[in-house]
Structures are given as C-alpha cells and as structure tokens.
Amino acid sequence: MNAHPSGYHKVLLDINLTTGEIKKIPIPQEDIEHFVGGRGLGMKILWDRLKKPGIDALSPENPLMFMPGPFSGFPIPSASRTVVVTKSPATSPDTSPYPHASTVSYSNIGGFLGPEIRFAGYDGIVISGKAPTPSYIVIEDDRVEIRDAKPFWGMKTDAFDKTLVKELNNKRFQTCYIGPAGENLVSYACILHTTARAAGRGVGAVMGSKNLKAIAVKGTGMPNVADLKAFNNSLSDVRGVFKGLTGGLLTGFWRESGTAAVLQMMSDDGLMAVKNYREGTFAEIEKINAKVAREKAWVRDFACYCCCLACKKSGAVKDGPYKTIVHDGPEYETGVMFGANLMISDFNGLMKAIYDGDDLGMDIISAGNVIGFLMEAHEKGYVTKADLDGIDLTWGNVDAVLLIIDKISRRDGIGDLAAQGVKAVSKQVGRNSEQFAIHVKGLELAAHNIHANPPRALCYATSNRGACHLSGDNIAHQNFVAAVDSLGLCLFASDHNKWMLPGISKRKIANLLTAITGIEWDADKFIEAGERVFNLEKMFNLREGFTREDDQLPDRFFAEPFTMGPEKGARLDRQEFTELMDKFYAERNWNPKTTRPTDEKLKQLNLEFTI
C-alpha cells in the first residue's frame, strides 16, 4: 500500500538541547517486534542510552522520552495514551555503590498528545541534553524548532496553557508543559497536558532539569496500516465491546463519575489511604464523594482521543472563598491524597487544593503523601510549627495545605525539604518516623491502602518505578499492564477489570496489532512482550544496585492495625507477606535472595543483552 506498511513510522525524533541538534533516527525492526512501543520501547531506549549505572536523573545525559505506541493515532477506542519514560529523579535504593542510583520511571498520560506525535511522523520523541536558557520545542510535521521560553519561565500551568495557544496561533497544536514545581526540580513534579492530564511520579523534574518548559506538536500525517481490511474488521469488533445489546454504550462507572466513582466504595471497604495511611475508611467520605462532586461542581464530561468512556469531568467552584476555580474536581487519586489522607472534607477547599497542585505542576499523589507525613509528624511533636515556617499543618486544614504546596513549588523554607519527597523528609525528621513515611524505593504510595489488601501490597513492593498502584497485583496482571502500556491504549479500556467493567481483551488487542503492524501477534505473544518489558525494567534497577531489601513496605502496614471501619484490626502479616513475595520471585524465575531474573529467563525473553 505504501512505503512503510507497518503501523510504524520507524522514526524517533531525537533532540539534543545542549547542542540544538535535531535528528530523525531509525528504530530497529527487532526493537519494534520485541518492545512494541510506548513504555516497552522507551525502556529499551533508556537501557541503550544509559550505558552505566548511577547517572544523575537530573543530569543532561538522562533522556526524557514521549512515547506513543502502535495504536496511537488510529481511531481505536481509548488509544490516547503517551508514556513518558526516563530515569527516575524520585527513587533511591537503601544502599548502592552509586550516589545517584535510581529506578526507571514511566508515567502514562491521556489526552491527545501521543496521537499527534504520530500524526507529525514520529513513533517517539527523545530529548537529551540541557538547553542553555529556558526553551520550548515546536514540532510541526518535519519542521522542528527550539524556541525561547524565558518570557514564560515561572508561569503556572493554567495561565501558561492559555498563553501558549495564543503564542502558537493555531489551536490544532497539542502541548505539554511544566509548572514552577518542574522548573524548581521538585522531585515529584508533573508534566501537564490540557491543564489537568498529568504525567507524574517526578518526570516533570527531569523536564525542568533540561530547561524545557513545553513541547508543542502538530501533524498532518498518519502511520499506515499493514492490512486495512482486517484493521477495519477488528476496529468494528472492538467498538462493539462498548456497545450495549439494546443500543447505547457500556461504559461502566467511567462515564458516570470517572475514577471518583470508587471514592465511596474504597472507603466503605477499608481500602483507602486515610490520615497518612493510618486508616482505611474516611468517616466524612460522604462530603467529598462523586455524588457531591456531581451536585456541587461537575458541569460536563470530557474524553481523550476517540474514547467513549469520558472519565474526565470539568467543574467549577460555585460559592465560597474559592469561587471562580474551574477545574476537573476530584478523581480517585487527587480526591483521596488531598482529601481523605489529609482528613480534608471541605469539598470546595479540596477543589482549590487540586487546582493549585495542578497549576503548580506537582504530582498530587506524592504531595498529599508528603503533607500527610508532615501533619502526622507535627501531631506527634516530631516537627514544630516553627519548623513548618509557622504553618498550622494540622489534619483537615485546607489553608495550610495551600500554603505548603506553594512553598514546595518554590522550594522555599520547609518547602525545600518537602520537595525532596517523603523519604528525604523522614530522614531529616529522624526518630522512628520511617515507620510512617509511606514510600517504596523513595516513591510515595498512591491512594490505595494495603492493611487489608496483600495483593496490592505486593504490587507496591515490586513495582519497577517505586510504589505504584497500577503496576499489577500479580505476575499475570503486571505483564498485561506492561504490554498495554506499550500500545498507546488506555488500561481503563482494556478488560483488566472484566468482572466489573467492559473492555478490550488481549485477543482483540492482538488482532488489531497484527492488522496494523503486519507482524503476527497472538494473546500469548502479547503478554510475553509485557513480561519482557517488566524484566528489562527489573534489570535496569538491579544494575543501579537495588536489592530485595528495597522491595520493602513501611512498618505501619504490619505494626499498626486499623482502629475503625469494616476492616478494623486489619494489618499485613509479616510472615505471610514474606511468603507471598518468595512465591512471587520464584514464579517470575527470579532469584529470591537477589531478585535477579535467571539467565534462562532473560534468554527466553530475548534480553541476553542485559546479562
């Protein structure tokens, strides 16, 4: 049909901000077949680019990658995701020969960015180096420019989003950018797209370290399809997954309330991060749940590229001191981390805090976790009000949260310490505070509590980017997630949760992938690609010096049972958890002592180059 009937452009856009050199570089066919795209292909490039351990994540050498996948750009339902891949600025091992050792990092962002990168003619953007002065990148098909961002440096994301549209003078550009948190290298800074969709877990700090304020991309092309007839048939089949028997759409709770739908359920089931993970149930959840959001704030539903789920809401604060705030309103993570975890039940205050967190460009998961820790340390008398620059950081105090996140974004006073993440704060606070510093490998846990959820505990402990609630609760799930993350497809549109929600099965995914790429894929081969990606990430982390000691959870989950709610008395059992982990390593063919994959496993997965 065309020159590259493969579903790929087979081209990466390679930009060196130090030299200003812009190149198109080919992607080896073998990497496409083994690592697919997105998270997988990004990890392979990360491995190739960082040839030795201990390279500082905030140094010019660390590549920052924006990786769509082979589904991106096609009108496949929810094929809207872009994975930002880089070396993590947020994680660290307990001990390592390398001072800047850290894990891989990847963060998955929805919206329209990944498809547009493919329309512009690229399967990914790889940015290295450091611009001499604040800069932004404009990509319009073949034309790529590095422009001056000095006038915009320091701007918060909402205002910058509006300014950049005017500056570009064309609404068809898709943009992503950092706020003050990223500029000031807050270890959990975000990269934002459309002011509310965020790639978190620290990738914004890497962007800031490169003096890169924004990327704008616009394209007019399209990757080709290997077998258009099979593609059209598969596409109809996949669209049918979301169609009800009597017409209308099957969208589960996504359409109704997005992830906020589960705020009430998770609290009711004792699975929520409450009061710095001390409890699993929030007594005041009725004041901040989806029902309240719908009544008080939400105005409309919004969707990512070609998605029929529309889990994004838009809303406005309609009364009180924060009137005029226009923003998404709580999702599950933001609603818990700035809500229940800080004992905040003032809905409008929660909206304001979420707006400010996004506006400053920080990961609300980590920010809520760090602030929860400081509130607890303050309550216990480990830190004084004077240590907190006079901020009355007590449970439920919205104004104190607004003050401290502003300080974090500017790294002012206590904000400078808090900007380094909960592991660093706990180290400074000392005493036994590491018991309630809720992180794994230095990355803060998300809004899912685990006293009563051992599989999710394993998920956090074994995730390759540090504590992550989406890494997968078991081996099959981990492999599946890694594979889906490599497609450009949204996990929410897959059937990962098939007993509750409609979704696309791995068989249907494989059919689409075969039609698009012309490479024969089936469900097993697809899952094996996920296993390959997960193992490559593991090998990267091992090379940095991470050991089994780093797959540890904070003591709180073992030592302090819930005192209330349906799971009252629940805690993790250390013996049982160790056995669960032993079993996990054995089933993965990883050495239980060192957690290193066996050479046989690596060879089986075509990962000989890591041995």
Partner 1 sequence: MKGNSTASSHQPQTLIDGKPVSRREFISRLALGGGALVLLSGCSRWALPGSGAKDREKIYEFIAVDYSKCTGCRTCEAVCASANNPVSVDGRMMPGPGNPALSNIYVHSFNPDVSAPAVCASCADIPCVNACPVDPDPATGRRALFREAKWGGITNDPERCISCGSCVDACGADSVGILAQHPETGRPMRMCTLCDGDPECVRHCPYDALSMIRVTADHPYYRMSPEEIAEKLSNRWYDLSV
Binding site for partner 1 (CB under 8 A): 1, 74-75, 112, 119, 158, 161-162, 165, 171, 194-195, 219-225, 228-229, 231-232, 239, 242, 249, 299-308, 310, 314, 316, 318, 324, 326
Nearest residue to 14 (alpha-carbon basis) of 53, 50, 45, 38:
45
Instruction: Give 253 or 302: the residue with its C-beta nearer to partner 1.
Output: 302
Closest contact distance (angstroms) between CB of 239 and partner 1 is: 8
Instruction: Give 222 or 559: the residue with its C-beta nearer to partner 1.
Output: 222
Nearest residue to 63 (alpha-carbon basis) of 24, 18, 29, 33:
18
Would you say 45 and 63 are in contact if contact means Cβ atoms under 8 Å apart?
Answer: yes
Instruction: Give 165 or 501: the residue with its C-beta nearer to partner 1.
Output: 165
Closest contact distance (angstroms) between CB of 217 and partner 1 is: 13
Closest contact distance (angstroms) between CB of 582 and partner 1 is: 45
Instruction: Give 99 or 248: the residue with its C-beta nearer to partner 1.
Output: 248
Cβ partners under 8 Å of residue 152, min gap 6:
134, 136, 160, 163, 164, 213, 214
Closest contact distance (angstroms) between CB of 74 and partner 1 is: 6
| Cα–Cα dist 13/24, whole Å | 5
Helix (H, G, I), strand (E, B) or coil at 321: coil
| Cα–Cα dist 512/515, whole Å | 5
Query: What is the phi/psi pair of residue 15, to 5°?
Result: -120, 125
Instruction: Give 172 or 380: the residue with its C-beta nearer to partner 1.
Output: 172
Quick one: how far is CA 193 from the chain centroid? 13
Instruction: Give 222 or 476: the residue with its C-beta nearer to partner 1.
Output: 222
Closest contact distance (angstroms) between CB of 347 and partner 1 is: 17
Instruction: Give 82 or 264: the residue with its C-beta nearer to partner 1.
Output: 82
Instruction: Give 316 or 580: the residue with its C-beta nearer to partner 1.
Output: 316
Query: Could you tell me the two tokens for 595?
Result: 């957690």
Would you say 351 and 330 are in contact if contact means Cβ atoms under 8 Å apart?
Answer: yes
Instruction: Give 162 or 603: the residue with its C-beta nearer to partner 1.
Output: 162
Closest contact distance (angstroms) between CB of 250 and partner 1 is: 11
Closest contact distance (angstroms) between CB of 119 and partner 1 is: 7
| Cα–Cα dist 144/16, whole Å | 12
Query: What is the phi/psi pair of residue 359, to 5°?
Result: -65, -35
What is the side-by-side strand order in the sheet with 212-218?
Answer: 143-148, 135-140, 212-218, 174-177, 191-193, 197-199
Closest contact distance (angstroms) between CB of 518 and partner 1 is: 14
**Angle CA 69–73–75, to nearest 5:** 115
Quick one: how far is CA 232 from the chain centroid? 31
Query: What is the phi/psi pair of residue 137, to 5°?
Result: -110, 130
Closest contact distance (angstroms) between CB of 303 and partner 1 is: 4
Nearest residue to 57 (alpha-carbon basis) of 118, 11, 104:
104
Instruction: Give 11 or 249: the residue with its C-beta nearer to partner 1.
Output: 249
- Return the biggest CA–CA distance within the chain: 70
Instruction: Give 52 or 171: the residue with its C-beta nearer to partner 1.
Output: 171
**Measured between alpha carbons, how far is residue 426 from residues 187, 219, 363, 369, 374 in Å?**
15, 46, 19, 12, 9
Closest contact distance (angstroms) between CB of 35 and partner 1 is: 23
Would you call 46 exposed, middle or buried from its count of C-beta atoms within 10 A (0-12, 13-18, 19+)? buried
Closest contact distance (angstroms) between CB of 164 and partner 1 is: 10
